[in-house]
Structure 1
Amino acid sequence: MKTTTSKRAHIRNLTNKLSSILCDEYILLTKTKSVDANLQYIDFQDKYLFFSAQSSEIDIIIQHIEKRVHASGHYADAMLKAFLKVTRFNKKRKKINDRTGYLNELLVDHENLIAILKNNTPLLETTSKDSKTDDFVTTLTESHEKMAWFLRSYLK
């Protein structure tokens, strides 16, 4: 079965969107691991387990996105230089290097990613024309909403 030029353009557009989301996920993973490694607190064990769980969840998300990109016949540019060029997250650390500053920064990044996913959902639906991609993006959004909810609870 031949792939039409229009279909290839749709697949390429979908792959570009997913690759961009992948870059944001990698940056978010790095920031989450940084918080885990750099903060000391009274309830260290609980927070360590919390951030380890969030890091693991983001790592799984990354693997799923990579599989979706590869399944389309394309490859994501998995170089840090490319990530920094494409990511929509703040690349500079806030001036406040304390627990609240780190947690707020992570929360803002999750909220930005949720907004990006929700804003791209109609485009991804149109591009993919399949329910699998719709479900995939919805699952990603729900995962980040849950992680943001937990971060908010730590900030109270």
Structure 2
Amino acid sequence: MKTTLGISAENREIVAHDLAKLLADEFVLYTKTLNAHWNLEGMDFHSVHLYFEELYKQSAEIVDGVAERIRQLDHYAPATLKNFLQLTHLTEQDGGGNDSRSLTAKLLSDHESIIEFIRGTIGEFQEAHHDAGTSDYVTGLMETHEKIAWMLRAHLK
């Protein structure tokens, strides 16, 4: 069945490809947030452990939302770890400590990287690819990451 969304097939493909990169970033961040939740140590363990749990649950919802947006554009979401690691802008980090300060700083850095990536796509989706829906979607997603980054940053002060 032909997809008619008012966006050309070529533009949908370009947007879906950028969303696939975003999905990979979101999935890697989700995994890193789980790592922080599971491996946290320190005097503030309980409160930060619960906070990281909130973050990974929110992250799981974001991953699902990005994948569904790709499907709305009639493309398939990448769904393997191999694909995610090939597409992501984020890096895996070993070591560096399992204290709340170290883990929070790592998560903050990744949220800020995702914010920068999204900010670079908003206008392009709208203007170059005529996809106001995805532009609006990622704007909301960027605002979510900005709020999380603000809260993570506040923990580090």
> Do both proteins adopt the same fold according to a TM-score greater than 0.5, normalized to the shorter chain?
yes
Contact 1:110/1:148 (8 A) holds in 2 = yes
Task: Specify the code of the residue in structure 2 equivalent to 1:31.
Answer: K
Task: Specify the code of the residue in structure 2 equivalent to 1:11.
Answer: R
Q: 1:64 corresponds to which residue?
A: 65
Percentage of matched positions with identical amino acids: 31
Task: Specify the code of the residue in structure 1 equivalent to 2:97.
Answer: N
Deviation at 1:32, TM superposition (A): 0.5
Q: Answer yes or no: is 1:105 the counterpart of 2:131.
A: no
> CA-atom RMSD, angstroms?
1.8
Deviation at 1:134, TM superposition (A): 2.2
Contact 1:14/1:127 (8 A) holds in 2 = no
Task: Specify the code of the residue in structure 2 equivalent to 1:30.
Answer: T
Q: Quick check: 120-129 or 66-75, which moved more?
A: 120-129
Q: How many Å separate the matches in 1 of 2:3 and 2:106?
A: 47
Please identify runs of 4+ aligned residues in structure 1 that moved more than 6 A. none
Which ranges in structure 1 are unaligned for 5 or more consecutive residues? none
Q: How many Å separate the matches in 2 of 1:111 and 1:82?
A: 22
Q: How many Å separate the matches in 2 of 1:68 and 1:103?
A: 29
Q: Quick check: 80-89 or 36-45, which moved more?
A: 36-45
Deviation at 1:2, TM superposition (A): 7.8
Return closer, same or farther for 1:2/1:15 CA change in 2, 3 Å cut-off: closer
Q: Answer yes or no: is 1:142 the counterpart of 2:143.
A: yes
Q: Could you tell me the TM-score, scaled by structure 1's length?
A: 0.90
Q: Quick check: 125-134 or 59-68, which moved more?
A: 125-134
Q: Deviations over 1:67-104 (max 9, x none)?
A: 111111111121001111111112232x4224222221
Q: How many Å separate the matches in 2 of 1:64 and 1:42?
A: 35
SS in 1 for 2:8: helix
Contact 2:3/2:74 (8 A) holds in 1 = no
Count of matched residue pairs: 153
